[in-house]
Amino acid sequence: MTRSMLALALALTVVLVGCNGSGPKRFSTTIDNPYWPMRPLTRWTYHEVDERGAVTVDTVIVTELTKRMANGVTARVVRDTARLHGQIVEDTFDWYAQAADGTVWYLGEDTVELEHGKVTSRAGSWEAGKDGARAGIMVPAHPRTGMRYREEYSKGNAEDEGEVLSLDEMADVPAGHYDHMLMIKDTSTLETRSLEYKLYAKGVGPALALGVSGDVDRESLVKVDRAPSGSGQGPLGSP
Q: What is the pLDDT of residues 144-180, one digit of tens each?
A: 999 999 999 999 999 999 999 999 999 999 999 999 9
Q: How many CB atoms lie within 10 A of CB 167?
A: 15
Q: Given a cut of 90, is residue 14 above it in pLDDT?
A: no
- H or E element that contains 64: strand 55-68
According to DSSP, residue 14 is labeled H
3-state secondary structure 168-179: EEEEEECCEEEE
Q: pLDDT tens-digit profile of 99-120?
A: 999 999 999 999 999 999 999 9
Architecture of the domain whose range is 3-226: Beta Barrel (2.40)
Confidence of residue 239 (pLDDT cuts 50, 70, 90): confident
The percentage of the chain sitting over the pLDDT mark of 90, rounded to a whole number, equals 88
Phi and psi angles of residue 174, each rounded to the nearest 5 degrees, phi first:
-55, -30
> How many residues are recorded in the chain?
239
Domain ranges in the chain are 3-226
Residues 81, 104: Cα–Cα separation, whole Å: 21
Rounded to two decimals, the pTM is 0.90
Query: How far is 141 from 153, CA to CA, in rounded Å?
Result: 20
Instruction: Identify the pLDDT of residue 25.
Output: 61
